[in-house]
Amino acid sequence: MTNDSIIKLFMENAAKVSADPVRVANTREMNSVLGKITARAGAIYLRKKTDVEKTVRIPKDRIVTDYHDAAFTIEQVDGAIAETGSVICSSSNGRVVQSSLLPAHHIAIVKSDTIYETLDEYFAGLNGTPPTNITLITGPSRTADIELTLTIGVHGPEQVSIIII
């Protein structure tokens, strides 16, 4: 598959699981999309560790240093899996995996060259020892009780937005 067809497949599968994928051409467009997503009130957890995260423009008074206090997490994730529409979050580079699961809205920024066709392809591309923790997020958290009553957001984010740059 070509890179464009892998991205298209990822976006289709992410949309099927209610993950709200959007593709942008540059960081200016990314910030415009982020502004719309984060327009409602709420604190934002943003590490600003990666080059992409450093270009995110969010008012400083909305940023918190503890993800426990955040309504949103914005982070560049390790990549994505096209066949499932999942984003890959890991503990590499000192990331706290829980920051992608605890806030109600997870906003994943995915570089287009880190979208893999399959999970096997992702693991085959790892150099050296894999991260201690890897979490795959496939849309908002869903769980059902024995009576099949569906609940969103119990074991992870209630909303997932994905920005492909």
- What CATH number did the domain enclosing 41 receive? 3.40.50.10420
Residue 36 has pLDDT above 60, yes or no: yes
pLDDT of residue 153: 47
Q: How far apart are CA 165 and CA 162, in angstroms?
A: 10
pLDDT at residue 96 in the model:
78
Percent of the chain scored above 90 by pLDDT? 67
Taking residues 119-145, report their average pLDDT: 82
> Does the pLDDT of residue 127 top 90, yes or no?
no
Where in the sequence is the domain holding 152, given as residue range(s)? 3-164
**pLDDT score at 46:** 95
Mean pLDDT of 146-153: 55
d(CA 62, CA 139): 25
- Read off the pLDDT of residues 10-33 as tens digits, 9 standing for 90 and up: 999 999 998 999 999 999 999 999
User: With 0-12 CB in 10 A as exposed, 13-18 as middle and 19+ as buried, what is 155?
Assistant: exposed
Question: Judging by beta carbons within 10 Å of its beta carbon (0-12, 13-18, 19+), is residue 39 exposed, middle or buried?
Answer: exposed
H or E element in which residue 79 lies: strand 79-81
Domain count, the chain: 1
Joined together, the tokens standing for residue 162 give: 């994905």
